[in-house]
Amino acid sequence: MIRRFLGRVFSGRLFRPAQPKIIPHGTHRIDRGAISSGALRTTQSLQRRGFVAFVVGGAVRDLILGRRPKDFDVATNATPEEVRELFRRSRIIGRRFRLVHVMFGPETVEVSTFRGANPAEESDQHVADEHGRILRDNVFGTQEQDATRRDFTINALFYDPATQEVWDYHDGVADLKQRRLRMIGDPERRYREDPIRMLRAVRLGSSRGLEIDAPTRRPIRRLAGLLAHVPPSRLLDEMLKLLLSGHAAEGVAQLRKEGLHHGVLPLLDAAMGRAAGERFVIAALKSTDERVRAGKSLSPGFLFAALLWPEVNAEWKVLVEKGEPPIPALYRAMDHVIRAQAGKLAIPHRHAADMREIWAMQPRFLQRAGRRPYRLLELPRFRAGFDFLRQRCESGEIDTALGEWWERFQHAGEAERAQMLVSDAEPRKRRRRRRRGPRAAPGHGVVPGGEV
């Protein structure tokens, strides 16, 4: 009996590598012309040198779904050093996973070497923290091992532009047809290896119209706290992909449903707990989705300003009610919210500066007399500030008449603008005459959500 067992081991019959399903072009229908020129040149150059090379992952998934990929990744059996030597305009990046970026004009193709099976803990090539998160992993292996190391079955698809075949090790094509998102291997272990996969599951489910299967979904809420141990820069990258996917409204709703928002946007929970804040955030997300689907540009700073505004606005009102002058109170509220968020999500300084500028403009929209409206129009970020104001109007936070006034003022001629300023200033004069007590200091008449 032992002899028969050993015979099966050494003959390869017991531990024979999994064989992929080779899916021909007539079945998967991926057009080679849909592959970017950089990805084609990368795979062709590697194959001419005798290496194995495939377009892999999300690009293959999206092409099968009939979507246009934003970028193309290549997987190969060549080491990073061999890839770097082959392409003049390339560089090795990464510490946790060493990759090569190959540049073709404005296009960058990310090339990874096939990853090996999870090595033993004592290996100096594999380091994990106490929660199971892999900190460094540069053990290379076979294509079959690489497929098993990927997160979801729909991301473990390899496309060979030369033969136009798709290699499928884990029935990812079948899962795509059934609109199902399924983890490769034990979901809990895979989430512990990389907690970002929980966010990715929500993003892919919402943006690709996929149902997360029960075993893949079950551990998420229980393991959500693991996101606290992920570098903020990686959280930011994944959140931007979700928020700019064109399905941000569904994605954020799913984040809250799974309890994942505490780890990335903790202030969002407080905002969504208030009726006015929830209306504003939902309106902002829907507006974002409309812009993305229409192919319009969108600033991440504007998006984060919208998500965090309800908390800024609420704190601003509290400070004013305590007697603090409105403008300093607004700046204090802005600083506090940004600091509180910075510990979870590494919002770059350039985006934080955009957020501050957009927020700081909001009281100035209430000032519609004299030269102030003209000076506001001249600001470089005026359009972003106005779009933000309009979002506040549409959500019901402030009177829509204010947004309509500014829409008209922007496009009016000089004579009409002058008339608008006069008609706007008269009621203010009457209010000032009725005002009792000493004259307010400059800027002190601004009330959150009110008039000047």
Q: Which of residues 178, 201, 224 is at a domain's end?
A: 178
Q: Are strands 73-76 and 107-113 parallel, antiparallel or unpaired?
A: parallel
Backbone angles phi and psi of 93, in degrees to 5: -130, 170
> Which CATH number covers residue 311?
1.10.3090.10
Within a domain: residue 443? Answer: no
pLDDT score, position 268: 64
- Highest average pLDDT, of 125-129, 221-225, 425-429, 442-446, comes from 221-225
Is the domain of 345 the same as that of 213? no
308 Cβ partners below 8 Å, 6+ apart? Answer: 267, 268, 271, 337, 338, 341, 355
Mind giving me the DSSP string for 315-376?
HHHHHHHTT--HHHHHHHHHHHHHHHHHTTS---HHHHHHHHHHHHHGGGGG--STTHHHHH
Is the domain of 174 the same as that of 33? yes
Tracing tokens 């009016």 back to the chain, one arrives at 412
CA distance 260 to 198: 8
Query: What element of type H or E holds 159?
Result: strand 157-160
Within a domain: residue 67? Answer: yes
CA distance 308 to 208: 26
pLDDT score, position 446: 61
Is the domain of 246 the same as that of 362? no
Give the tens place of pLDDT for each residue, 41-57.
Answer: 999 999 999 999 999 99
Within a domain: residue 40? Answer: yes
Is the domain of 121 the same as that of 244? no
pLDDT score, position 433: 52
Q: What is the mean pLDDT of the chain?
A: 85
Which residue from 132, 112, 117, 135 is spatially nearest to 58, judged by alpha carbons?
Answer: 112
Q: Which of residues 126, 154, 178 is at a domain's end?
A: 178
Is the domain of 318 the same as that of 416? yes
SS (H, E, C) 214-283: HHHHCCHHHHHHHHHHCCHHHHHHHHHHHHCCCCHHHHHHHHHHHCCHHHHCHHHHHHHCCHHHHHHHHH
Is the domain of 228 the same as that of 303? no
Is the domain of 292 the same as that of 343? yes
Within a domain: residue 9? Answer: no
pLDDT score, position 167: 97
Is the domain of 238 the same as that of 351? no
Is the domain of 160 the same as that of 256? no
Which residue from 448, 422, 410, 441 is spatially nearest to 369, judged by alpha carbons?
Answer: 422
Give the tens place of pLDDT for each residue, 396-439.
Answer: 899 999 999 999 999 999 999 999 996 654 555 555 555 444 44
Within a domain: residue 290? Answer: yes
Q: Which pTM value belongs to this model?
A: 0.78
Give the C-alpha distances (Å, rounded to integers) separating 154 from 143, 185, 213. Answer: 16, 13, 13
- Enter the tokens of residue 15: 């531990």
Give catalytic residues, as residue numbers. Answer: 71, 73, 151
Query: Are residues 305 and 327 in contact, defined by beta-carbon separation less than 8 angstroms?
Result: no
Is the domain of 73 the same as that of 190? no
CA distance 403 to 417: 15
Give the tens place of pLDDT for each residue, 335-389.
Answer: 999 888 776 677 888 899 999 999 999 999 999 999 999 999 999 999 999 999 9
Q: Which of residues 178, 193, 216 is at a domain's end?
A: 178
Cα three-residue angle 429-435-438, rounded to 5 degrees = 115
Domain total for the chain?
Answer: 3
> Which CATH number covers residue 220?
1.10.110
In three-state secondary structure terms, 422 is helix
- pLDDT of residue 132 exceeding 60, the answer is no
Is the domain of 162 the same as that of 243? no
Instruction: Tell me how crowded residue 409 is: count the other CB atoms within 10 A of its CB.
Output: 18
CA distance 109 to 69: 12
> Which CATH number covers residue 86?
3.30.460.10
Is the domain of 293 the same as that of 407? yes
Within a domain: residue 336? Answer: yes
CA atoms within 13 A on the CB side of 80: 16
Within a domain: residue 90? Answer: yes
Indicate the pLDDT class of residue 156, thresholds 50, 70 and 90. Answer: very high
Within a domain: residue 370? Answer: yes
CA distance 220 to 187: 9
Per DSSP, the chain holds a count of helices (H) and strands (E) of 23, 12
Domain residue limits at 32: 20-178
- pLDDT of residue 137 exceeding 90, the answer is no
